[in-house]
Chains A and B, each alone.
Chain A
Amino acid sequence: MLKVDGVSTHIGKIKILHEIYFQVEKGQIVSIIGANGAGKSTLLNTLAGLYRPTSGTITLENDVISGYPANKVVEKGLSLVPEGRQIFSNLTVKENLLLGMFSKYYKEKKLAEENLTKILDMFPSLKKHLKNLGGNLSGGEQQMLAIGRGLMSNPKIILLDEPSMGLAPKIVYEILDTLMIIKEDLGTMVILVEQNVKAALKVCDQAYVIDQGRIIINGTRDEISSNPQVISAYLGIKSAGA
């Protein structure tokens, strides 16, 4: 499990995250909900080691991972699929995927091949593009590639930052379906940050609402879905107008 214990993060002199506490149990998808600028991305980036928390600890299965740089955090089993996909547009799909397990590649070349097959089975649409440049894929395929790349290192937990951005609804649901597969087949924990709150709430087990860098509401999917505050703020203009 992943345990976040009182984490605060500053960017420059500004405190973005204020003592965040939460945890992800094995086999869970946890959704983090919040407005633009609420601190969701900062939270994910802090977990992944791109920012160094100014206080608090992050523990992944008895292993303290806070304070390590991003490249070390990956080795410890936490993988972040960044916002806007950030695939390597000048590399082929295969190269993109293989880079996903950079830290282990030279030690376990065989595992790399196995993982590659596994991921390609999971995302059949990537198979036919294996030799194409990542930059030439469609948005949906790029997102699949980004997730697949994140999974290549056999992470214990995978973090997804707005995977639905700029994608047609149909594809968004395909991606969310994949998350269920990741959770069930691979047993990987998932943290999902999503604008599309309704969709996110469909797949998650647990959800946290973050505002102003603080977690203001938390609960199970059903609790959050029925929370009137959440409904008015995030679940649509119908309630806002009403």
Chain B
Amino acid sequence: MSKLEKVLYGNRLKPFLFLVGLILMLPFVVKSSYIFTILILIGIYSIVTLGLCLLIGYAGQISLGHAAFFGIGAYTSGVLTTSFQLSPWLALVIGMVTTFFIAYLIGIPILKLKGHFLALATLGINIIFYILILGLNQLTGGAAGLIGIPSLSLFGLPLTDKLFFYFFVWTAALLVLLLSLNIVRSHVGRVLRSIHDSEIATETLGVKVENYKVAIFALSAAFASLAGSMYAHYITFVAPPTFYITKSILFLIMVMVGGAGSVWGAILGTTVIMFLNEIIRFVGHTYFGISGEVEIVVYGLIIILIMMFLPKGLMHVISKPIQKLKQKKKVKIKSHKDMISQKGV
């Protein structure tokens, strides 16, 4: 990391290493396969929410249709590996590339829309996709779902083992995080945030705003597709309801609860929502003897409360005390500033 980068964006190594450490450590603490499944799903969903976070938090564009891209990945992998006996790895890459181009083509007209209209158009895309996978039942298995998707194997090591899959998923998630961080911590990240603040001013500075919006949309779709492929190989079964609007909304909620303003928020939000679901279930069943219905109510209530009182998400709450710590260090930085206000740091 160059000095200049440190000056511009602060340190990223520490939180990244913290996360890596956490991921490496967890298998020693957690033994339950139930928790592993949740951790694996958090990894998979994080890949989607990271892309979505770039789109929503940085570029300021809403999407209620990412479950469709998630689904394209899952079904490409599923269909290519079952009906055409392709290597899962190849299918995964084909899925990503296809999704990228589909999203790019869709994005060109759709990202001209703003706010509610964009939300509705992406929602429409999700519904169209849903109907297509139901309708093309020769290929996709229709409503009955697609069974017998093979598990992944890496260098002869079958990833059916939860531990291996856990590491595999999180390696992928960390790579996606790294890519996202690279984007965010570069001129592109600045461009995206500028688009969020003022599209007009950004255009005036010579930025082809449309291209950036579409590129990020397509990229986030490709991430979703990657996650979809992993999902298909992990569960080894896919059925259309998994890719309905409810899932898109779930992704959106994860991003917003974590805090769309930071890529770390995406991972945090995904983790919190996944565990929240389980906790409501667990605490509700064990201590209050309540059943499924109440879960939905509590879930809805929590979403409303978080959006009302913490519209910037949980990341904002967490980063505040950290920032306060940094204030103390500010004196140090001040002297640093003098140094870097000259050229050639």
Instruction: Establish whether A and B are touching in the complex (CB under 8 Å).
Output: no
